[in-house]
């Protein structure tokens, strides 16, 4: 019987230890729950302090801010469309400039060809012979002028005398 009593006592001690551990866990859980309840009570008190009208005013202000933001977005879209249209115009202008440059390049090539041909003609000329011929022509023109003046003088002298 003493063995039995010792076994019962050991079993009771073992159960008492397990119950003590469970009781400590429950106390810890209860402390955590108490902390959460206090936090919730503080949050509820803060919500209760806020006026429903003030919340409605806040909501209205947020809605107005959202509308203003939407208007700004629409304005920015319109501006972007204007920029895109301007870029389209610039693209057409750039294309026209490219075509004009190509045309001018072709004309420059033609002028280069003509200049080369003219240079070849000038290189073939005897410049001294041209100068001599020009000098002779000037001399003949002076003689013709003098002969013309003499003829006029003779005509006036012959009619006057």
**In the structure, what pLDDT confidence band is assigned to residue 161 with cuts at 50, 70 and 90?**
low
- With respect to residue 141, please indicate whether it lies within any of the assigned structural domains: yes
- With respect to residue 70, please indicate whether it lies within any of the assigned structural domains: no
- With respect to residue 31, please indicate whether it lies within any of the assigned structural domains: yes
Number of domains making up the chain:
2
DSSP the chain: -HHHHHHHHHHHHHHHHHHHHHHHHHHHHHHHHHHHHHHHHHHHHHHHHS-HHHHHHHHHHHHHHHHHHHHHHHHHHHHHHHHHHHHHHHHHHHHHHHHHHHHHHHHHHHHHHHHHHHHHHHHHS-HHHHHHHHHHHHHHHHHHHHHHHHHHHHHHHHHH-
Per-residue pLDDT for 30 more than 80? yes
pTM, 2 dp: 0.34
- With respect to residue 83, please indicate whether it lies within any of the assigned structural domains: no
Per-residue pLDDT for 89 more than 70? yes
- With respect to residue 63, please indicate whether it lies within any of the assigned structural domains: no
Overall average pLDDT of the 24-28 stretch = 91
Domain range for 15 is: 1-49
């Amino acid at each position: 019987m003493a063995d039995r009593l010792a076994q019962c006592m050991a079993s009771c001690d073992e159960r008492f230890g397990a119950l003590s551990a469970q009781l400590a866990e429950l106390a810890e859980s209860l402390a955590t729950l108490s902390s959460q309840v206090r936090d919730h009570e503080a949050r509820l008190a803060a919500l209760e302090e806020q006026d429903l009208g003030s919340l409605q005013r806040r909501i209205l202000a947020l809605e107005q801010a959202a509308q203003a933001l939407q208007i700004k977005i629409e304005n920015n879209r319109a501006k972007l469309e204007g920029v895109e249209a301007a870029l389209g115009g610039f693209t057409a202008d750039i294309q026209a400039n490219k075509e004009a440059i190509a045309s001018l390049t072709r004309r420059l090539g033609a002028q280069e060809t003509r200049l080369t041909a003219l240079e070849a003609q000038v290189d073939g000329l005897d410049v001294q012979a041209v100068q001599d011929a020009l000098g002779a022509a000037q001399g003949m023109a002076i003689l013709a002028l003098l002969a013309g003046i003499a003829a006029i003088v003779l005509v006036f002298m012959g009619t006057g005398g």
